[in-house]
Structure 1
Amino acid sequence: MKIHQRIRTAVMTTTVMLTLSGALGGTAVTLYGDEGMYLFNDLPKETLKSRHDFEITQAWADHLRLSSVRFNSGGSGSFVSSDGLVLTNHHVASDTLHKLSTPERNLIDDGFTARSIDEELKAPDLELNQLHSIENVTDRVNAAVDDDADPETAFKQRRAIIATIENESFESTGFRSDVITLFGGAQYHLYRYKKYTDVRLVWAPETAAAFFGGDADNFEYPRYNLDATLMRVYEDGKPAKLEHFLAWNDQPLQGGELVFVSGNPGRTQRIYTVDALRYLRDDRLPYVLDYLRRKEILMQQFSLNGAEAKRRGRDELFGIQNARKAYTGMLAGLQNPQTFAAKKGREDKLLAAIADDASLAPLADAWQDVAKLQKEKADMLDQSVNLRSSLFSLAMNTVLLAEEDTKPNEQRLSEFTDAGRESLLQRLLSTAPIYDDLETVKLADELSRLIEVRGADDDLVVEILAGKGPRERAAEIVAGTRMNEVPYRKELVDGGRAVVLQSDDPMIQLARWLEPEYRRIREINEKIDERERQAYAKITEATTAVEGTGGYPDATFTLRLAFGTVNGYDEDGKWIEPTTDFAGAFTHAADHEGQEDFDLPSRWYDAKDRLDLSTQLNFVCTADIIGGNSGSPVVDRDGKLVGLIFDGNIQSLTADYLYSDEQARAVSVSAVGIREAIEKIYQAPDLAKSLGQ
């Protein structure tokens, strides 16, 4: 049997349903293939033993957890040396690359390699989180909420106890402390993180190599991308000395190998009811896509103003285009009738079982509660006054902080409590550059959109525009504000409510005008969220009683463990091999000659004779991942790094609400390819040698 036939047989086998014991109950539940984003305090030990003959030890899991990091900008990473090196994706680091770039030093286009410690560039506002412990605080949270409380009261009581728990933890440990809602509100866990805020850029390839193939290849496979970047964490002005970091595997992966992914998947909606998915399909996702298309056109037009405008807008445009393609795939999955047939079949079976059990029958009302809430959520889609520009966001957060600081900690909005203050101030006082021309364009478009949503005669709109058009008013506000000055922002933060109220800064005034409406809309949405949380807690209770649980809750941008095997797949009658190499990259470039996104950097051609072209570059596996997993380390049975997650294929984009490994694949850069490139293309042999040491 040829190797691709053996792999195909393995893929077919993984679609067989598995029976597991639940974490919330002892009943059996069916999972499909390698499904699962598991909590590090509830790992699938029996599953891994029975399916893959792998015994996961506590020491193995603890080492991987402490070697993993979360980027506050969105994404994941891992420690890969004893002296603080952190590996992540180029596109996760692109926000920092953008902020460190200047017209004279374009890190996005040209890449960067520090030849010594002294050359490493400090990120202006990056925070990395290392998860140190998890504590189940469900009983304490639930005890603080009265059984007969209405949704508004219940929300306030829950917010108060969560703020208290977080602050107590922060004061006693010094760690960032976040209470995370799990299983739709059935559990609450306290996550404690060590923070690294002195983070420096060490190496990044050119975007032409990291995003080779551009939008055309995005979410596709085969891929030939070097979507990797190295940073370094510092403590007390020196490279951090780490006990936990990942050793490097210098052997290429083979088909069928078991691998693990440790990362921070963003948000999934697998607990969602059919009615909730219908809301996503018919309302939420089309709304988001319309917004993204609008912003994509805006940023494309801005980029036509010259090379510098293109540089300034490039990172944001990439993010918008990436999101647009991702949401398009998600919507396509929901528009496929088979998706709803699968979800509805399971839901109907579950509701029938609940109806036959008198003790569970009252819980069936929760499905109707969720259905009613979807209409309210649809009505709120356009209700936003959060104008999306950097200067306005800084102003609004400054205004909100000034007001929230006058309240007891347990009564504040969640992001303004004492436990999160350091992270908030790091963002508010960031030294990252802000460009007036880009801010003016973005704010003008947001004001124009506000008119479209609320109407030109709306009292708030009339007050904000002050008799001017959106473009003229935006230009006036941006030209007059001092919110782009860090000392001025610090003056407002330190001065508190009195100083903020006295400020005549036009951006602060804009935020103050919009603050009451922002709070009104937020309060409505929070009430909806609370009612939905209560409904899903009942749905989780009923589902657990009938089916058990797969042992993992929906993703919450917190650390999870996934696993899978290196396998190709069938697409349109063609077998897609699981791995690619450097030779394939050069062939792919030649096949698309004349298309800018397929032009490899010149230094790749300069190094071609030095490269081992058979070196593995990318690979796919069946691990269960979504957005937020970007930058996640992929490790083998020994816990050694074998790859770096950077994408999923187009078939994986339904993973937010439905997992299948028939075709869906996680796409990674191979560890051997990263080392080969750093040593031979970027000619940094000492850096390459230090990986895993």
Structure 2
Amino acid sequence: MRRLFSLALATLTMLTIPLQTFGDEGMYLFNDLPLEQLETRYDFSPTDNWADNLRLASVRFNSGGSGSFISSDGLVLTNHHVASDTLHKLSTPEKNLIDEGYLAKTPEQELKAPDLELNQLVSIEDVTDKVTAAVDENASIEEATKQRRAVMAKLEKESLDKTGFRSDVITLFGGATYHLYRYKKYTDVRLVWAPETKAAFFGGDADNFEYPRYCLDATIMRVYEDGKPAKLEHFLKWDSAGVAEGDLVFVSGNPGRTQRIFTVDALKYLRDSRLPYVLDYLRRKEIMLQQFGLEGTEETRRARDELFGVQNSRKAYTGMLAGLQDPATIAAKQERETALRSAIASDPSLSDAEQAFVEISEVQGEKKKMLGETVSLRSRLFDLALTLVLRAAEDEKPNEERLREFTEAGRESLVQDLLSEAPIYSDLERVKLADELARLLEIRGAEDALVQEVLDGKGPRERAAELVSGTQLQEISVRKTLLEGDQETVANSDDAMIKLARMMEDEYRRIRSINEQLDERERQAYSEIQSAISKVQGNSGYPDATFTLRLAFGAVKGYQEDGKSIAPTTNFQGAFEHEQSHAGQKDFDLPESWQEAKDKLNLDAQLNFVCTADIIGGNSGSPVVNRKGELVGLIFDGNIQSLTSDYLYTDQQARAVSVAGPGILEALRSIYGAESLADSIGR
């Protein structure tokens, strides 16, 4: 199961394109589909109507993940682990929706998510000329960063004012191309059905990123407009027959990030510095959350969702690092890079591209120096405080000069997050903040002036307790007052967490400015490399992932592992056999509802399957459709061999793992007694 982890994602944002494609490789833009490849490889030519319906039936979750509309009255299908953030926020000590599951038997029982936003991509506009024209080619890196930020904010604001849609300028091909994406937002999203964790995450951490799998990692929600279920023109019909080996399938989702044209030096930085740093952080957080959960049942529930995300990320990044530590990975990338640089060297007009490789190498050294340079204390209360402090200052500036997340185009989403009704648990906040303060002390040293000011003569635990008890940001009304106030309102606040954020603001801005300038240097360098690639090899067809909508394709296909043939599909019978073969291991205990329904279940119904489609984190919840555009599955994972896909695609063993459409329907009807819900799907 893959969910985007914001710490790592925020620092791996320089996204470009692969040098050439192999097999079913590719995460394609919907305005530049791989028509020739599909025709040549699979004798399939998608029509405009086919592509438009799939695009408009696909949605992005602001919590990190993908989904799809599956009925004309607003039903949305995604993963249980994508929905777990919402399930956690809707849970109480008396009702743990993550573990116990949920079924709304009537519309009145559908539970409103406190802060969930779904984005439907309605249009794409190429604004490359407008962005590049606004950045002076002779500008310093600092000025180029400001100019690029300004024109992007201007374009987004103009689009928002003109259309009313959320408008995001997306950087593609390393800065060689810019597209304006317009999204219709759905902010009234309600929970309809979720299975138990024992079904959704059957096999636990042991089976995570493995195959065969037997998981019902699915959840159904519904979008509302004006207090009523939304009426949708575009949604996915449902195929109930199941898939067969060799079937062509498509994945429409929002892959988070890939680094397939990263230079060898950039990959070595990830291998030797960045990923080990991230893994150390994840292991630390995992232990902290586990220890908190040991204090009691309620503490376990409160920490569960965040702990799952950390554990999942830890396993994913362990696999990514292992892929980079395999000499064959770097050797393969080195071979491609050497060939490209040889072609560049033979053409004097491409001398800037060769210098770009040198520039990227130098940037990696500076990035290494910046590791650990952070004052972001990752607790919900501090995040709220810092956002409110920054917002007050940014609102004093013209829209074009603000930090990206504080421009007018993103204001509604910002407000929705700040005023979320999701519970904040003070005991968990104290533990998280104490650990972050201790980490700040370890990184910067006890004699650091900022550390001394932040700790105020106290130890991390004592100071964290003082800060949490001295803030009122748990109250929505307090956050609303600060949000609606001006810079003076925030400056005069006596709230302890606001004071801490103001104390950290200057250092936060200093570090952020340095990182943004490093990003700009990389952006300009990779843009030069992209131009050289286009001249030497032609357009390779797709940019690296940017957590925006893409189309991937592949075949339902098994593989060989350890001398064994791995079949592409599994069924309910296999789930019960898997449970029996792991008797005594609690992560392999199917829920009671499954045991009670076993006699009436169609045990031959498909439950999971694999295909060769090119996916990555962020594709969780993506619909899998057939040639007719009918839903046949739901992406929820990749196998362990796919974890190198961030850098290098292969379909020898790497596979995308899906919940099968027939399995979802069978479970709804035979296990959960949700016949009416099953009947409404695809209609």
Q: What TM-score, normalized by structure 2, do the two folds share?
A: 0.97
Query: Deviation of residue 589 (structure 1)?
Result: 0.6
Does the 8 Å contact 1:167/1:418 carry over to 2? yes
Deviations 1:354-382 (A, max 9, x none): 11112113321100000000010111110
Report the equivalent of 2:9: none
Deviations 1:152-208 (A, max 9, x none): 111111110000000000000000000000000000000000000000000000011
Report the equivalent of 2:102: 112
Deviations 1:612-633 (A, max 9, x none): 0000000000000000000000
**Paired AA for residue 653 in structure 2:** Q
Query: Deviation of residue 223 (structure 1)?
Result: 0.2
Rounded Cα–Cα distance in structure 2 between residues aligned with 1:543 and 1:53: 28
Check if 1:478 corresponds to 2:468. yes
Q: Which of 175, 199, 216 does residue 206 from structure 2 map onto?
A: 216
Report the equivalent of 2:587: 597
Does the 8 Å contact 2:19/2:261 carry over to 1? no
Report the equivalent of 1:175: 165
Rounded Cα–Cα distance in structure 1 between residues aligned with 2:523 and 2:498: 34
Report the equivalent of 2:125: 135
Does the 8 Å contact 1:184/1:271 carry over to 2? no
Rounded Cα–Cα distance in structure 1 between residues aligned with 2:339 and 2:118: 44
Rounded Cα–Cα distance in structure 2 between residues aligned with 1:352 and 1:671: 48
Query: Deviation of residue 496 (structure 1)?
Result: 2.0
Does the 8 Å contact 1:68/1:76 carry over to 2? yes
Deviations 1:291-327 (A, max 9, x none): 0000000011000000000000000000000000000
Q: Which of 533, 552, 555 does residue 543 from structure 1 map onto?
A: 533
Query: Deviation of residue 549 (structure 1)?
Result: 2.6
Rounded Cα–Cα distance in structure 2 between residues aligned with 1:520 and 1:434: 29
Report the equivalent of 2:48: 58
Rounded Cα–Cα distance in structure 1 between residues aligned with 2:20 and 2:517: 33
Report the equivalent of 1:44: 34
Q: Which of 669, 679, 682 does residue 672 from structure 2 map onto?
A: 682
Report the equivalent of 1:159: 149
Does the 8 Å contact 1:210/1:228 carry over to 2? yes
Q: Which of 47, 50, 68 does residue 58 from structure 2 map onto?
A: 68
Q: Which of 216, 220, 225 does residue 226 from structure 1 map onto?
A: 216
Deviations 1:117-151 (A, max 9, x none): 00000000000000000000000000001111111
Give secondary structure in 2 for the equivalent of 1:507. Answer: helix
Does the 8 Å contact 2:154/2:400 carry over to 1? yes
Report the equivalent of 2:652: 662
Check if 1:427 corresponds to 2:417. yes
Check if 1:349 corresponds to 2:328. no
Check if 1:298 corresponds to 2:288. yes
Identity %: 70
Deviations 1:399-426 (A, max 9, x none): 0000000000000000000000000000
Does the 8 Å contact 1:76/1:628 carry over to 2? yes
Give secondary structure in 2 for the equivalent of 1:617. Answer: strand
Rounded Cα–Cα distance in structure 1 between residues aligned with 2:320 and 2:260: 13
Check if 1:359 corresponds to 2:336. no
Rounded Cα–Cα distance in structure 2 between residues aligned with 1:185 and 1:54: 32
Rounded Cα–Cα distance in structure 2 between residues aligned with 1:363 and 1:433: 51
Deviations 1:46-103 (A, max 9, x none): 1101110001111110000000000000000000000000000000000000000000
Rounded Cα–Cα distance in structure 1 between residues aligned with 2:612 and 2:352: 39
Give secondary structure in 1 for the equivalent of 2:504. Answer: helix
Rounded Cα–Cα distance in structure 1 between residues aligned with 2:20 and 2:172: 20
**Paired AA for residue 37 in structure 2:** T
Report the equivalent of 2:568: 578
Report the equivalent of 2:312: 322
Does the 8 Å contact 2:600/2:670 carry over to 1? yes
Rounded Cα–Cα distance in structure 1 between residues aligned with 2:139 and 2:679: 60
Check if 1:556 corresponds to 2:546. yes
**Paired AA for residue 142 in structure 1:** T
Rounded Cα–Cα distance in structure 2 between residues aligned with 1:570 and 1:376: 43
Check if 1:621 corresponds to 2:607. no
Rounded Cα–Cα distance in structure 2 between residues aligned with 1:529 and 1:29: 21
Does the 8 Å contact 1:36/1:550 carry over to 2? no
Task: Please list every run of 5 or more consecutive structure 2 residues that lacks an aligned counterpart in the other structure.
Answer: 1-15
Aligned length: 668
Q: Which of 630, 636, 639 does residue 646 from structure 1 map onto?
A: 636
Rounded Cα–Cα distance in structure 1 between residues aligned with 2:132 and 2:267: 28
Report the equivalent of 2:6: none
Does the 8 Å contact 2:27/2:545 carry over to 1? yes
Rounded Cα–Cα distance in structure 2 between residues aligned with 1:548 and 1:276: 23
Query: Deviation of residue 498 (structure 1)?
Result: 1.3
Q: What does residue range 160-309 of structure 1 map to in structure 2 within 5 Å?
A: 160-309=150-299
**Paired AA for residue 585 in structure 2:** Q
Does the 8 Å contact 2:352/2:528 carry over to 1? no
Give secondary structure in 1 for the equivalent of 2:659. Answer: strand
**Paired AA for residue 289 in structure 1:** L
Rounded Cα–Cα distance in structure 1 between residues aligned with 2:584 and 2:254: 38
Task: Please list every run of 5 or more consecutive structure 1 residues that lacks an aligned counterpart in the other structure.
Answer: 1-23
Report the equivalent of 1:468: 458
**Paired AA for residue 36 in structure 1:** G
**Paired AA for residue 511 in structure 1:** A
Rounded Cα–Cα distance in structure 1 between residues aligned with 2:594 and 2:486: 53
**Paired AA for residue 539 in structure 2:** T
Rounded Cα–Cα distance in structure 2 between residues aligned with 1:555 and 1:443: 32
Rounded Cα–Cα distance in structure 2 between residues aligned with 1:171 and 1:37: 31
Rounded Cα–Cα distance in structure 2 between residues aligned with 1:268 and 1:252: 30
Rounded Cα–Cα distance in structure 2 between residues aligned with 1:53 and 1:107: 45
Deviations 1:640-678 (A, max 9, x none): 000000000000001111100000000000000000001
Rounded Cα–Cα distance in structure 2 between residues aligned with 1:556 and 1:31: 18
Q: What does residue range 498-517 of structure 1 map to in structure 2 within 5 Å?
A: 498-517=488-507
RMSD: 1.1
**Paired AA for residue 168 in structure 1:** E
Rounded Cα–Cα distance in structure 2 between residues aligned with 1:491 and 1:271: 46
